[in-house]
A = this chain, B = another copy of it.
Amino acid sequence: MIQFAINKAYFLQALHTTRRAISSKNAIPILSTIKIEVTSDGIYLTGSNGQISIENSISASEENAGLLITQPGSILLEANFFINVVSSLPDVTLTFEEIEQYQVLLKSAKTEITLKGKDAEQYPRIQEVDSLTPLIMDTKMLKSIIAETSFAASTQESRPILTGVHFVLSNHKDLKAVATDSHRMSQRQLVLEHSADNFDVVIPSRSLKELSAVFSDGIENLEIFFSANQILFRSETISFYTRLLEGNYPDTNRLLSDSFETEVVFETSTLRSAMERSYLISNASQSGTVKLEIINGNVSAHVNSPEVGKVNEDIDVLDVSGSDLIISFNPTYLIDALKALKSESVRIRFISPVRPFTLTPADDSENFIQLITPVRTN
């Protein structure tokens, strides 16, 4: 019969982190609960949606938590409801006491709230990940790789493997992350500081987006553990598990070519604003495309949506070279690609109106490359 006292704000923060794995609309009702496990060392909060699981620990020795454990035990509580109740409590501290089996009494100042819970034995077991030597990664770097690639993954389940980001470590230190939805592709490469065991995994892009939200920038490094169908990202207090996608990821290297015919360097923000205007109008037409004309060193964008209107605009460039070219594409892909670029200027290389074109930061065309497939018009 659990009994502990804790600082309300600290407890809430841990609950909110854990809730990120919990979906209130889960088809498996038990997964709408949060598992609270109290031991003599501290409290372990677990949430899961079947794909992602988060385990968050509050150590008895963590001063800010003000944790005082009188009795250990485990219980399941409806996650959203429990968190709302905790956050409504009046005092800075609260006591949590199991008064009957699966019945919890929360006390704070003069308030007493009794909640019904469930047997913790009903909660699915999270598959362990073997704790061999982990890969150590800088949290900010990992989150930056995720921001640069995950948006390009597919959101459609018709080819499930494309809903993930393909992470490959080769030569024990060459990391490559790539995502594609078959219309565009984004690939980031980097060399790790410390060598590690090679791996080749496809991580669901939705899991990666949650991961970025769960680990704050204050956490310097993450330990990463691999198993056959799961991966675990671990900080001092948080363990983030996600399933891996099964299947062979398509070979994306064959899409990249070194040759090109036309090259334009734009200020990233200038091109992005122009594409956002084009999108407003193109979005209303069936083809949904913008036509980019590169003629005699001048670049212009053109959209014609017979129902609503037209855009014609000259776009300032920083540099242009090579053959003239007229190419059509969906401006959404270019907007997304430019959003993912941190560099102030972008280099775009075109081969022909029917071949994919590439985007790289103007000052680094090696490590971060994106590719967009044009649309054939007539």
Contact = CB atoms under 8 A, between A and B. Distances in A.
Interface size class of A (residues with CB under 8 A): 20 to 34
A311 B115 CA distance: 9
Interface string A105-119: 000001111111000
Contact of A309 (B116, B277, B308, B311): B116
Contact of A281 (B113, B276, B284, B312): B113
A311 B280 contact: no
Contact of A112 (B81, B112, B116, B311): B311
A131 B309 CA distance: 41
Interface stretch (A35-43, A83-91, A205-213, A229-237): A83-91
- Identical copies in the complex: 2
B314 A274 contact: no
Interface of A is mostly: mixed
Contacts of A252: none
Nearest to A308: B116
Nearest to A313: B111
Given A280-B85, A280-B88, A114 B78 contact: no
A274 to B, nearest CB: 7
A112 B116 CA distance: 63
A273 interface: yes
Q: Which of A84, A276, A284, A316 has the most CB of B within 10 A?
A: A84
Interface string A261-282: 0000000000001101100110
A307 interface: yes
B88 A276 contact: yes
A88 B274 CA distance: 9
A355 interface: no
Contact of A90 (B89, B273, B312): B273
A16 interface: no
A310 interface: yes
A277 B113 contact: yes
Contacts of A273: 88, 90
Contact of A277 (B89, B277, B308): B89
A111 B280 contact: no
B115 A309 contact: yes
A311 B88 CA distance: 12
A81 B280 contact: yes
Contacts of A85: 277, 280-281
Contacts of A281: 85, 113
Count chain B CB atoms within 10 A of each CB in A88, A115, A280 and give the residue with the most.
Answer: A88
A113 B309 contact: yes
A88 B110 CA distance: 55
A115 B312 CA distance: 12
A71 B28 CA distance: 65
A94 to B, nearest CB: 12
A284 B284 CA distance: 44
A110 to B, nearest CB: 4
Given A113-B310, A114-B309, A116-B308, 11 more contacts: A81-B280, A85-B277, A85-B280, A88-B277, A90-B277, A111-B277, A111-B311, A112-B313, A113-B311, A115-B308, A116-B307
Interface of A: 78, 81, 84-85, 88-90, 110-116, 273-274, 276-277, 280-281, 284, 307-316
